[in-house]
Structure 1
Amino acid sequence: MINKVMVLFTSVALLLIGCTGQDSDHAKEKHQSVETAASAQDEGQREKEEQEEAPKAENTEEKVKPEYRVNKDTWSFEPIGDADPKVVLLTFDDAPDKYSLEIAKTLHRLKVPAIFFVNGHFLENDANKAMLKEIHELGFPIGNHTYSHVNLTELTEKEQEREIVKLNNLVEGIIGERPKYFRAPFGSNTNHSKEVAKKEKMLVMNWTYGYDWEKEYQDKNTLTEIMLNSPYLGNGANLLMHDRKWTSEAIEDIVKGFQKKGYEILDPNLIETPA
């Protein structure tokens, strides 16, 4: 009988010890869980406080201050203040046809800027749209040369506006921004086309000189020679060229020739444009 009692007492004791151990483990786990949650809460609070204390990031991108403005009597560019007067601007019309991207890649390799004036009828296929996008991504500003390359003096005011605004809308849809420069085909501006350009916040510009559409200058050597030695060459000259094979072949020698003469290639971003 005594043995049975002792066995029963021993069993009860072991059961109580086991229960006590389990309760201890549960309590320990619960305590650890509370500590972890509290720690996470404290960490989250610290991060929140640090974020509130940290200064907000500011937009450091600043608009480049204009250093040149167009002279509308000569269509050349004059320095504002003490900017270097010995500059020339490179521009290419009738883009992007066959050679614009090749010209852009050459200029990019030479690390010189230019404006590419585009026509809408060249942008009616995906290949040329991709070409325009690549030219822009290389860092070259895009100008408006009207949608159909027609003489604006022969159009009604409504037709003129359509030629200009339709192209701006198309260009914006391809590269994400509207042109800031306008050049009328044949240099044939009208009072209305100038007003439309003003509303579109584009700078109207013609050119100082250009030759690559003339038959006698449709090869690399003669074009290079006349561009570098034109009687119209001077400080701030606005140089007109086109999307042409011979122009593409000559452009590197033309750029290096101007640089050898001491001219800087004018960055279009430094030109004053309508606000």
Structure 2
Amino acid sequence: MIHKRWMILAATLILLAACNGENDKPSVEEKEPVVDQTAIEEKAEESEKAAEPKEEKKEQETQEVAVAEPQYRVNTANWSVQPIADAAEKVVLVTIDDAPDKHAMEMAETLKNQDIPAIFFVNGHFLDTDEEKQQLKQLHEMGFAIGNHTNSHPNLKDLTEQQQKEEILQLNETIEGIIGEKPKFFRAPHGANTDFSKQLVQEQKMVLMNWTYGYDWEQQYRDAQSLTDIMVNTEYLNNGANLLMHDREWTSEALPGIIQGLKDKGYGFVDPAAIEGI
């Protein structure tokens, strides 16, 4: 009887030990955690998308560098612009002198509406008032290139070297103070350069420019119809022609017809930003 009781007691102890051992084992979740594969894939996609803008930005920067490469250079033989490499040949350059007087903004709107680039050569005596300075700032913000046409529009050949220096550098400072950068181009009034002015312009890393043809200061072309006709049909119109116009009432009126006439003849328009600098 005693022996039988000891056997029952031993069996009970063994059973209790087995139960306690099972309770000590980790659960299935603890031993083998569940992996959310969908969440991992979503995070991977998010990482790829986050990297995409950086790639796009690199491509945009590469394109901007490519656009910044000069496509034209000034030919001092006739002051036209000549293509570099495979740039378009049948083009003209639009320039407006004596700005911003009374019609510069109207002319700028005409050009802007047709996406025509141009250089506005300004004079210091048209930048005396806050309104005139604001007009220059607007021209720059509209995307037009700003050129130096001297402070008071003198004939440089009549001035001393010091006076020439003041005429050019003073206007450079004025323009920079208004738009935040110095002009890239210089055109002497009356096309009258001197050896000194040429040297100074080069030192200032500006592009010396004159013109191929222009007519709006001549008495017989001081109306829109005759000016349009001569600007479009002159024998001097050729590939790369540098067109000189002025901030004048009749020129402003003729400008839409001049642009259309040049387009009808198959001419494109050079962006001044694409002209080779110093």
Normalization by structure 2: what TM-score? 0.77
Aligned-pair RMSD on alpha carbons? 1.8
Instruction: Give runs of aligned pairs for residues 185-196 of structure 1, distance below 5 A.
Output: 185-196=189-200
**Matched residue, 1:152:** 156
Q: Please, which of 168, 171, 175 is the counterpart of residue 172 of structure 2?
A: 168
Percent of pairs with identical residues = 57
1:109 to 106, 110, 113: 113
Distance 1:211 1:161 in 2: 29
In structure 2, C-alpha distance between the alignment counterparts of 1:257 and 1:208, rounded to whole Å: 18
Matches within 5 A, 1:1-275: 60=61, 61-62=64-65, 64-274=68-278
Q: Distance in 2 between matches of 1:68 and 1:220?
A: 30
| Cα distance, 1:200 vs structure 2 | 1.2
Task: In structure 1, give the amino acid aligned to 2:140.
Answer: H
Q: What whole-Å deviation, never above 9, does each CA across 1:253-272 have from its counterpart, x for those lacking one?
A: 11111011000011111111
Structure 1 residue matching 2:152: 3-state secondary structure: coil
Report Cα offsets for 1:93-142 as digits up to 9, x if no partner.
00000000110011000111000000001101111001111111111000
SS of 1:209's equivalent?
coil
List 4+ stretches of structure 1 deviating above 6 A: 54-59
Supply the AA of the counterpart residue of 1:249: E
- Could you say what secondary structure the match of 1:221 adopts? helix
Per-residue CA deviation, residues 189-212 of structure 1 (Å, 9 max, x unaligned), is 011101111111110010000000
Q: TM-score, normalised by structure 1?
A: 0.78
Q: Which residue of 1 aligns with 2:36?
A: none
Report the secondary structure of 2:77's partner residue.
Answer: coil
For 2:268 and 2:68, the matched residues in 1 are separated by: 18
| Alpha-carbon distance in 1 for matches of 2:141, 2:235 | 35
